[in-house]
Each structure stands twice: as C-alpha cells, then as structure tokens.
Structure 1
Amino acid sequence: MKNQKRPPYNTIPHYIVSDYRNGKLNINQLRLLQWIRAIGTPYGIAITSLVDLNNDVFPDLDLKINTINSYLIKLRQRQYIFFEPRQGKMGTFEIHLNHWLTPNMGYKTLDKFFPEPKRWVGADGEPIEIDSFPQANPPEANQKLEEQNQKLEDGKNKLAKQLSSYTPEDKIRSSHNEHDTEPHTKKHDTLLKSSFKGTLVREFNPTNHEEERCKEIASELGDEFINSIVSVLRKDGFRLIERAWGIFREHRQEGKKMDNPARYFQGIIKKLR
C-alpha cells in the first residue's frame, strides 16, 4: 500500500538464533526472550510482570511462577537481559535488553550492568577468568542495597506522617487552589505547572520514559486528568507507581469490583505509602 506510515518494529540479533541452535538456549528460554524483545520500548526496556509473562508466553503450558523466574535469571546470567534483584514475585518491573537499536540511530548494550570479568593467571601460567555477574554479588553488596531501600522507605513514611492531615483529594486539588498558602503546596504546584502544558491526559507531553509510562497508565485507567499520577511521580518516584500498577492489574485479573479504576489505583498507592 502506498503512503502507509511505517509501523514500529524491534530487531532480534542473529546470535540469539545461533545460541538456540547450539544449545545455549532451550525453546522456552527462546520464546521468553523473543517476547520480551517484542514488547520492548524504543529505548530497550520491557515493563512486565512474572504473571503477565506466564500468561502471554506460555498459555499452552502449566508453568509455575518460579519456573518463569528461573528462565529470567538464566537469561540475565548470559547477558541477554538485565533486571535489578528483587524480593517477591508480585508486581511489574523493568527488564533492560541487550544490543538494541534506539531512536536517532543510537545503540544500547548492557555493558554498564555487566563489568568486565577479572582475569588471573594460574600456577600453570594459563589465564583464569572469573565472571562477576550482578546477581553473584557478595552478601555485603546485597545488605548495602537493603539498607538503602530501608532508608528510602523510612523517608517516605516520614513524609506521609507530615502530610497525614490532608486527604488524598486535598493533595490533588491543592495544585489548583489559589488560596492554598502552605509552602510545600506552592512548591508542588510550581513543579506540576513546569512539568507539562495542560492537565488533560491527551494534552500531556512526556519528556522521559517515566512520564510516558504515567500517561499510558492514566489512559488505561480512564483518568481524564494527569495531575494525580504525576503528583505521585514527583513525590514518591516511579517505582511506587509500577508496584501499584502491578497490583492493580492482578486485582483486575481476579475480577475485583472497580467502579472507578482511577480511584481504585490511587487507593492502592495510598496503602503502599
């Protein structure tokens, strides 16, 4: 057909096929890797959950969530993908993809996630290579990460106590209340106004990947205005939104009653704070 817009597409490196033929990948790992690349954003990031991967990739197989998780760990060990170590198996998370063509002729690799292996020389003079994948970090590194997460959680709890005198509706309305004289509310109002031109979801122009995801989530929720989810992004960060979105999708799959999806989503966020 003439004058047809070019649809977006993703590429698969030839070495993935070679690795499958040579036995480095089994058929289920190949299926999973191909799907993750198929749902990747233009910047080489797939946002999904273990439940979604199981339902989307293996509807014909009775696989457990632990099995899907083990496939992902194998793919990470072989540097096809990278995702941060995480506790639990619920909610969505980001998966970074290796060897990815990005907009403006860019090219993404996972080199920053996988440092060069250390090389040693054995007693026989032969080189010995010791790989150091992120998931094989010593316990001290994992403990440090947990301490950082705890400090972040404590800070969020302290902020929640400071704002406990306001209802969620007040927090959202305050960005448009000309008579609100609280200093932190004025600061929040300034941030919102400088972040986007309008409040309608369809008029919101994302400036980065996180804002783009917020617009997608707000659209799927049927929320007319972008204010509430952008407010959460500014105050609590994108990770809280992703956790809440994963829980929301699971509740929706379970058939839980949602008269107002946007309000239901905000309720989940309130509980996670």
Structure 2
Amino acid sequence: MQPIFIESQHNQMIKHIQKLERRAYREKAQEFLLEGERLIQDALSADAPISCILLSNTFHLSQAGQTFLQNISIKGLTIYVIADNIFDKVANTQTPQGILAVAKMPQMAQQDLLNGTNNFFLYLDCVSDPGNMGTILRTADAAGVAGVFLSKGCVDVYNDKTVRSTMGALFHVPIVQVDDAEALFLQFKQNGIQLLSGDLSAQHVYYDADMSGGLCIAVGNEAEGISQLVRDYTALPVKIIMPGLAESLNVAVAAGILMFEAVKQRALKK
C-alpha cells in the first residue's frame, strides 16, 4: 500500500492525533498513541490492533524508515507520511524518532480473565504516578501475572508517559478497568482467589504468606496506601521488613517484591 502524504496541520488525521492526547477522547475513540520504533515493533510483534502508522518525512526517506516499511509490508497497514514541522507538533517526545502509531485499546472482560487457567493477578488501588504504573505493568509481565485490575482513580495507562514506561508490557498483560471493586472481590472469593495486600501496619511478613494458590496481590496509592475497601476484603495483609531508616518503599518496588515472592512459591510447588 502506498503511503498517504500529509502536508497540512488541518488534516483530519492530524486533528485526530492531537485529540488523542486527551484522556476523555481516548476513551471515546478507544484508541491511543504509540511513539518510537521499538515500542511500535513490540506492538506489531504482539499482534496488537494497530489502526495506522505515521512517519515523519525525514524518517520515511531514511534507511531505517525504508527497512521498517519493508518489514511491515505484509501487514497491510495504512501509512501516513507527515511533513517534519507538523510531525514535531504532534509528537510527545522532545527528540522524536519520527514514527507514531495509533493503536486500539485491548478489550478484556473481567469474567473472561477470571475464567482463565492462570489464577495469579494484580490489583492496583489508585496508583497515580505514570512511571510507577509503567514499572508495575512491566514487572507484572515479567512475573507472568495473568492480568492486572485497575481501580477507579488510577492514572490512565494509555497516556503517553505510562505507555512509554511500560516498554511494551501493555501488549502482553491483560488490563481491566474495574467499575465495581466490591463485586470483583466477591468474584475472587467465588473463584478461590485470595486477596493479599501490602500494608505497613500488617502483622505478618510477606514471605510467611501462602502465595502458591489462587492469588491477587493488591498495592495501593503512593501516599495513602490501600483503601479501606481493599482492607475489608483482604484475606491476609502483609508487610515487607525494612531494617534501614526508610519509612516506606516505592509502590513499584513493593509490588515487585510481592510478585516475585509469589513466583518463587508457585515454582517450588510444581
């Protein structure tokens, strides 16, 4: 398919790209932006639903651009080539590589996720920092988590900072936005999934908890910790021992420690 050239900032596709910077528009369109060759290659390798790809004119004419186009030619994607001055306005990075993609938001039903064979989950309770969100999702991908549930109040996983910090994990780990957390926790009970939460005030140390069965690890907001609702449904609150002077751990670090304790226990059980 021949590229479509865009030389006007008033082009409808350019307007669409600019609107996708707003969360409300992303949610309405069910699309989001990817920026950078590596991230887009990861998305394509994972068969993520890509709507179109946009290249700056300079990248299009480069050897890297031509190689990229050859590699994706069999996918039949719509390619737009944009004048450099316009591309720089729609890119989110300070030194853009010259490649963007519009991707459709992956769809995963809550019940479908719970019905799967992997019963190891993560629940994020109002995690608000894009960098933390991205690191947690990347760690969840590495730990083999079946899916991640996001409470209301979490940072948008499809904003540009979060998308970049996930380094492609968005396309490997199913993510579900939770409308009714209490209903989800009741489903956990029905499906034999224990809710375990990190809590500084807990009496039990995390490695003493049995994480070898159905499990959902909950971590909370950077400043406030887990909510009262999560506390109410937690089967076992656990703490991470900190012999140093720090009063708390970064939420992404804490989530990683808990997830990989579960990985260890589940591996030993096999």
Q: Which has the higher strand share?
A: 2
Q: Give the alignment's TM-score, normalised by structure 1.
A: 0.20
Higher-Rg member (1/2): 1
Higher relative contact order (CA 8 A, sep 6+): 2
TM-score normalised over the length of structure 2: 0.20
